[in-house]
Amino acid sequence: MRRIPGTILILTAALVAPLLACGDDGGGGATGPYDDLPLDETITGTGVAAPVDVVRDTYGVPHIRARSLADLAFAQGYVMAGDRIEQMDLFRHFAAGRVAELFGALDAGQIDGDLEMRLHRFETVAAETWTQLQASTAPGDQELVLVLERFSAGVNRVLAELRAGDRVLDPEVRTFFDADRTADWTPVDSLVIGRLQAFSLSYSSAELDETDLLERAVAAFDDADPQTSPDAARRAGAYHDLIPLKPLDPTSTRTGWPTTTRDRKSV
């Protein structure tokens, strides 16, 4: 996985700190990181055709109930931006190789990280993808266009509320995030972050070391193919003996598609 620069990690920590410090000002009783989050809310008005209900569980995770896909996507963007618009803005800059636009004055070396990120062409590919999606007549693509557009509209409603003073950020966040200077969210921004996530989850420098190890092992064993080895039958089932697996929860397991975990009792 690509190493995230220290500047990004520090700023992300600064974004999370106000949330972790949330709590009432009264005495007595422990407070948690989600105390200031609304347990439930109803989104109405600009952007939705019908009221959308949002409730949060014990962990502060929002659960959205809407009457249409368009309203659901809008609410998703609205709620997500309400929780973390600063982080979203930071990561779209990171994925596009534009962090120096925000914090170049704090870290002149950030431009080097931006140049490295631009080698992957996440922003260029995301823009091309968006153009292709808009031109497509495939129902699935048209639905995705709708979701991306409505999600962006939800994010931008939060930005509009911040600019109008209808929503207030924590003082710590306001030291480096200004809604008036923040560009509106676009579908390309969502696709850019999607490209970054896909890259982060699919690439690891360890793959190079593992490939080298495999090549040396094959050479050491005279290019023997374990699949055609005469004693292959004797090794059948060895993997399951060494790493026994069982469903996490049989009640939620679909035949042929199990969710698994190591059965520690049998190891």
Q: Quickly tell me which residue has 């995770």 as its tokens.
A: 61
DSSP 73-113: HHHHHHHHHHHHHHHHHHHHHHHHT-THHHHTTT-TTHHHH
| pLDDT value of residue 121 | 93
Region of 60 please: left (phi>0), alpha (psi -120 to 50) or beta: left
Which pLDDT score, from 0 to 100, does residue 255 have? 62
pLDDT on residue 206: 78
Identify the pLDDT of residue 73: 97
88: tokens are: 């979203």
Locus of tokens 């005469």: 230
Confidence at residue 18, expressed as pLDDT on a 0 to 100 scale: 41
Q: What is the pLDDT along the chain (267 residues), one digit of tens a residue?
A: 444 554 444 444 444 444 443 434 444 344 445 566 778 899 999 999 999 999 998 888 999 999 999 999 999 999 999 999 999 999 999 999 998 888 876 778 888 889 988 999 999 999 999 999 999 999 999 999 999 999 999 999 999 999 999 998 888 888 888 999 999 999 999 999 999 999 888 777 777 888 888 888 878 876 667 667 777 777 777 767 767 666 555 555 556 655 555 444 443
pTM over 0.85: no
Tokens coding 98: 């534009």
pLDDT of residue 166: 93
Residue 205 tokens read as 């420098």
Query: Which domains does the chain possess?
Result: 6-202 (1.10.439.10), 206-266 (no CATH)
Q: What is the pLDDT of residue 245?
A: 66
